[in-house]
Amino acid sequence: MPVSPSLLLQQDTEAEVAPFFVDLNKLKDDQLQHLRQTGLIGRDDTSVRLLREKHIEYLSQVWRRSLKQAFVSLDSSRPWILYWCLHSCDLLDGMGKIDETERCRMVSTLEHCWSPIAIVHPPVTRDDDLLYFCNAKEDETSELPAGGFGGGPGQIAHAATTYAAVLSLCILSTNLEYPKSARQAKALLTKVRIPLYRWMISMQTESGGYRMHDDGEVDVRASYTILCCAKLLNLATPQLCQDRVAEYIQSCQTWEGGIAGEPNCEAHGGYAFCGVAAMQMMGKLHLLDLPALTGWLVHRQMSYEGGFSGRSNKLVDGCYSFWQGGATAITSALYASEDKAEDPWLEHQTDDSLNFPLLFDAPMLERYILLCAQDIHGGLRDKPSKPRDFYHSCYNLSGLSVAQHCDSGEKVYGDPKQTRLGRTHPCYNIRVERVHAMLQQQW
Amino acid sequence: MSVMSMMIQVDELSEVFSDLTPIPQDDGPEPVCVIQYPTSFRLAYDYMRAIWKANEMSDRALRLTSLCLKLNPANYTVWQFRRRCLRHLGLDKARIQRDLDMTAVLGGSNPKNYQIWFHRRALLECHENLKDDFLATELEYIAHVFQEDSKNHHAWSHRQWFIKTIDDDDVWKNEIEFGTSSCTKQLIEEDPRNNSAWNHRWMVIHRGGKTPLALEVAKSEADFALDTGATPDPYNESPWRYLVGILREQHKRQPNPMLMREYEQKASNLRQVVTNSGQDPDTCAHLTFARIDLLEMIADKDSLGMDLADEHDTIRKKYWMLRVDQLQQKVSNLKA
């Protein structure tokens, strides 16, 4: 019987990754010297380092230079490009290298991605959340301003690009050491807040799922991206979070225990994160089949490579460090033996000790990210045979942050001080202090 | 009408749209994330913006969307506008087929972009008689994509939506049994580690619903998982997870300790297969975890979890220790 193609691919991947798992104590002097030159290990010892400056340099090109022609394939994802690079710099403590002018340009670019529309709103009833429908009338249909952020100027509102834009503006508006851009970012969020709410409500469907855009696909990504924006902007009303919203996500949990994009589809890391984070933000994570979910999540960590794969019998990929690692971190919270906090990552902001174990092997993940995912010229990647890109840089670093900060008492892989990143919130994926600041905002 | 004639060419633009003024993109002053658009890209989209401003939904507008989508197939706004044009011009069977063909060309041999697949779905949703008019061609297209990538997540999702929408007995049956456009048995035999195929099998055998299987069907599926999946390659995770899924579903419907024991025994027997291949069966962590899951359903205390935590599946040590703890609690609660 011929060997399974999947097994062959897995064996190839293990072979590809093996040379990166060098035993640093067994290297010859000239090999060590080479690694020191790249910056992967320090001068004095053999603990592995994060190429901080090189990564920041790579990410900064997005606001310092223009992107080459091939990037036309991301022409409908420009807020994403900004978020991936800005959040990564934030985790690397590199925000100090971005000046006011650059920040104001970022806000302005996002403003030009704002896509306003008029929504025809049916007569308001007593059950509606009147505060947000503001001018909506009781007896008649009214036309109200709504909108969202698109992938670029002139592109219609889209849940994912809205998420990326809102997160970027949250990062900028909470950076008070740069008051001019912080004010501008806050002003933009203030301006769009209510119209955004109206658009988000209009994306909700009968099934409880949300559409990604007008006449667009419905899947679990929309549930997450919309809820995340709503929480950060204090718009998570009962109507936005009604029962059917959670029921839709529940219907996406599969026989494997993981979560799929839509009911009946295959459990997949990206959607698992979206489903888990969305349920957590609604305080309804316990409604999922937890043993099945946990069992599936932990089995996504690859025994040899240490990184995560997206689906059963698929290959390791650095981006799943966050999608799967983050989902596991969130799910781990439900195993706390004492009082379960509504948001344990906000409650334990300054103190690293969470009162529940992180259910995946953090040092093994850190090892994969540091040894296999880093490109020695800056930027991070899926696996060694793949080129670096902004998306993989963001999600490898976000996963590294989760591994470092959500694991109480565990010894970190690599140089603990040198590799330490800012603390990302596993649900929102911006720094916890920024989430805290946003949730304190008066609008 | 050939697919290429549905697309305007770059050098035709200024002539075909001579009555319109192209509108440049407004990024504002000194934007970030600036892309070096090639001239043809810029021109096509400048005219697209002019068409949008004029709110024109015509044949030439449709042909322009084809060009813009060739330049960036992920532009969801252009796709949405394309659908508005199609609806305005009238979506009959012929136009649907032409657009499906165009979409296939734009997508390439292994499309992994949401917009391409959603467009197919949106077109098909407009048509009443999917089974008679589009079943064969659509399944053929999807099977074609599987030849490039048998795990294309979008292709599988599309197939799941399509089959469920048609909801026809013969079609459901064909998805399981050997047929020219069948999926699961053939793909599982070609690659028992194709988890997408296992997922599809689950969906099909349940007819896309959540009702638990009848006991006889469940046993047949459990045997299939063991015989076709686990026996040839016990280290394959997919059939073990499928087996546990099938049995857990039965257990939730009505606890059936005899059934669990029967399959725990069958699982255990496969240890011999591992031994015969020259390996230590304890290293087959998936076999062990399946036994743990089945034994847990009948609250049978075991030491298998600690073995995985300490030796054979150490990357999941914390998880296994949690399981052992929970199981001990469960057992002592029952005894109390």
Residue with token string 């334990």: A348
Cβ proximity of B143 and B181 under 8 Å: yes
Q: Which whole number is the average pLDDT over A38-62?
A: 93
Banded model confidence at residue A43, pLDDT cuts 50, 70, 90:
confident
Residue type, A228: C
For chain B positions 268-287, those within 8 Å of chain A (CB to CB) are 285
- Looking at this predicted complex, what is its ipTM? 0.96
Q: Which whole number is the average pLDDT over A29-40?
A: 90
DSSP letters for B50-82? HHHHHT--SHHHHHHHHHHHHH-TT-HHHHHHH
CA distance B312 to B54: 67
Q: Which whole number is the average pLDDT over A376-382?
A: 98
DSSP letters for A283-352? T-GGGS-HHHHHHHHHTTB-TTT-SBBSSTT--B-TTHHHHHHHHHHHHHGGG-SSPPPSSHHHHTSS--
Which residues are registered as beta bridge partners of A116? A147
Banded model confidence at residue A337, pLDDT cuts 50, 70, 90:
confident
List pLDDT tens digits, range A190-243.
999 999 999 999 999 999 999 999 999 999 999 999 999 999 999 999 989 999
Residue type, A37: Q
- pLDDT of B181 reads 45
Q: Which of B53, B70, B93, B112 is catalytic?
A: B112
- pLDDT of A143 reads 85
The candidate with the shortest Cα–Cα distance to A317, out of A237, A372, A262, is A372
CA distance B27 to A155: 12
Locate the chain B residue with the closest alpha carbon to A82.
B33
Banded model confidence at residue A29, pLDDT cuts 50, 70, 90:
confident
CA distance A116 to A199: 9
Contact status of A127 with chain B (Cβ, < 8 Å): no
Distance from CA of A104 to the nearest CA of B (A): 9
Contact status of B193 with chain A (Cβ, < 8 Å): yes
Closest by Cβ to A109, choosing from B27, B199, B202: B27
CA distance B257 to A292: 19
Both structure tokens of A340:
């379960």
Contact status of B208 with chain A (Cβ, < 8 Å): yes
Banded model confidence at residue A429, pLDDT cuts 50, 70, 90:
very high
Cβ proximity of B7 and B66 under 8 Å: yes
For chain A positions 29-88, those within 8 Å of chain B (CB to CB) are 62-63, 66-69, 71-78, 81-82
List pLDDT tens digits, range A386-427.
999 999 999 999 999 999 998 766 789 999 999 999 999 999
Q: Do A73 and B74 touch (CB under 8 A)?
A: yes
- pLDDT of A313 reads 98
- pLDDT of A134 reads 62
| Residues with pLDDT less than 50, chain B | 178-181
CA distance A272 to A287: 14
Q: Across chain A, how many H-helices and E-strands are there?
A: 17, 2
List pLDDT tens digits, range A109-118.
999 999 999 9
CA distance A253 to B245: 12
Locate the chain B residue with the closest alpha carbon to A61.
B33
Q: Which whole number is the average pLDDT over A279-288?
A: 97
CA distances in angstroms from A210 to A249, A264, A266, listed in the order given = 10, 17, 19
Q: Do B38 and A72 touch (CB under 8 A)?
A: yes
Distance from CA of B319 to the nearest CA of A (A): 6
Contact status of A367 with chain B (Cβ, < 8 Å): no
Residues in chain B closer than 8 A to A299 (CB atoms): 237, 289, 316
Test the B interface: residue of A264, A407, A413 with most B CBs within 10 Å: A264
Give the angle subtended at the CA of A319 by the CAs of A314 and A321, to the nearest 5°: 90
For chain B positions 303-322, those within 8 Å of chain A (CB to CB) are 313-319, 322
Q: Do A72 and B25 touch (CB under 8 A)?
A: no
Q: Which helix (H) or strand (E) holds B203?
A: helix B195-205
Percentage of chain A lying above the pLDDT 70 cut: 95
List pLDDT tens digits, range A119-158.
887 777 666 665 555 666 677 777 889 999 999 999 999 9
The candidate with the shortest Cα–Cα distance to A92, out of A62, A63, A50, is A50
CA distance A57 to A80: 18
- pLDDT of B180 reads 42
Q: Do B32 and A364 touch (CB under 8 A)?
A: no
List pLDDT tens digits, range B222-260.
999 999 999 999 999 999 999 999 999 999 999 999 999
CA distance A341 to B317: 25
List pLDDT tens digits, range B272-299.
999 999 999 999 999 999 999 999 888 7
Would you give the distance in Å from CA A259 to the centre of its chain?
17
Residues in chain B closer than 8 A to A106 (CB atoms): 32
Cβ proximity of B221 and B230 under 8 Å: no
Catalytic residue list contains A113: no
Average pLDDT taken over every residue of chain B: 92
Per DSSP, A208 falls in state: S
CA distance A399 to A407: 12
Q: Do B26 and A152 touch (CB under 8 A)?
A: no
Does residue A99 surpass a pLDDT of 90?
yes
